[in-house]
Amino acid sequence: MNSRQFGYILSSWISPSVLAEAIRKTIERPDIMNSVVDLDINSRYFNSGQSANLPFLVTLFLEGFHVPIELFKFVPMYLKNIADTPEETEMKNIHFTGTIDYLDNVLNIDGTYHIIRVTCPAKEMQLIRYPLIMLIDAVTNLAKYWSNLKITHSKNTVHHQHLSEWAFLSFIDIYVAKAYGFDGIADLRVSPLGMDYALDVQQREISCQGKIPVESNILSSLIFNAQIMINKNQS
């Protein structure tokens, strides 16, 4: 998944009302919308912006950020007579032009840690704010799972299958897992059951390759919510 695809999926969560408000403010107060502002992201779980592959995932989103063209058809529900205006055209071509700082051990007075600072024009900030927060929330929840798993397991003792139908979430999960030492979950060859096979995550399908166990209880556990093509001639 490249930055354009990653940015498109996250940006699709921008509310049309937020997009309409950004266009309206750009028309009425271009001085404010062109001014540079900061977004400080704090965390009660992470003490560093380098945690859980956040730099890779956040940068991937911001590099690929753009407003999906499909959202503009809903803008007239909130803002009339803006079709083909310079401001609408500007929003159709908007991208992230700011900077990102990943901070370490910056403790706030409320006990949270200041982990990321994003700096960019206000018109960009209005659009990236909520998708960015959603991404960090997803990374945080996934990080809790992998950090707990790391206490008792290693990459050589865990067989992981993505059961989510949303390939985007599985993509994020792979990179969060890598940050906690599980760097092969998209191509694991060792499971707790001691079998030798490989996982290949492609879009929404997960397939297993290699010698498939014949025990019915083990086989049923492997095919739960996953499609497995079994070669009948395979020994």
**Among 99, 132, 152, which residue terminates a domain?**
152
Clarify whether residues 117 and 20 are in a common domain. yes
**With DSSP H G I counted as helix, E B as strand and the rest as coil, what are the percentages for the chain, rounded to 5?**
45, 15, 40
Domain that holds residue 158: 153-235
Clarify whether residues 164 and 196 are in a common domain. yes
Give the total number of structural domains in the chain.
2
Give the model's pLDDT for residue 41: 95
**Among 108, 130, 152, which residue terminates a domain?**
152
Is the pLDDT at 229 greater than 90? The verdict is no
Give the model's pLDDT for residue 220: 52
Give the model's pLDDT for residue 149: 82
Kindly report, residue by residue over 99-120, the tens digit of the pLDDT.
Answer: 999 999 999 999 999 999 999 9
Count of beta carbons in the 10 Å neighbourhood of residue 51:
22
Clarify whether residues 80 and 158 are in a common domain. no
Query: What rounded mean pLDDT belongs to the chain?
Result: 80
Clarify whether residues 168 and 146 are in a common domain. no
Clarify whether residues 159 and 137 are in a common domain. no
Clarify whether residues 56 and 10 are in a common domain. yes
Compute the average pLDDT of residues 205-221. 47
Is the pLDDT at 234 greater than 70? The verdict is no
Clarify whether residues 162 and 109 are in a common domain. no
Alpha carbon 5 to its chain's center: 11
Is the pLDDT at 133 greater than 90? The verdict is yes
**Among 103, 135, 152, which residue terminates a domain?**
152
Is the pLDDT at 179 greater than 80? The verdict is yes
Phi, psi of 89 (to 5 degrees): -60, -40
Give the model's pLDDT for residue 80: 83
In DSSP notation, 143-189 reads: HHHHHHHHHH--TTS-------S-HHHHHHHHHHHHHTT-TTTTS--
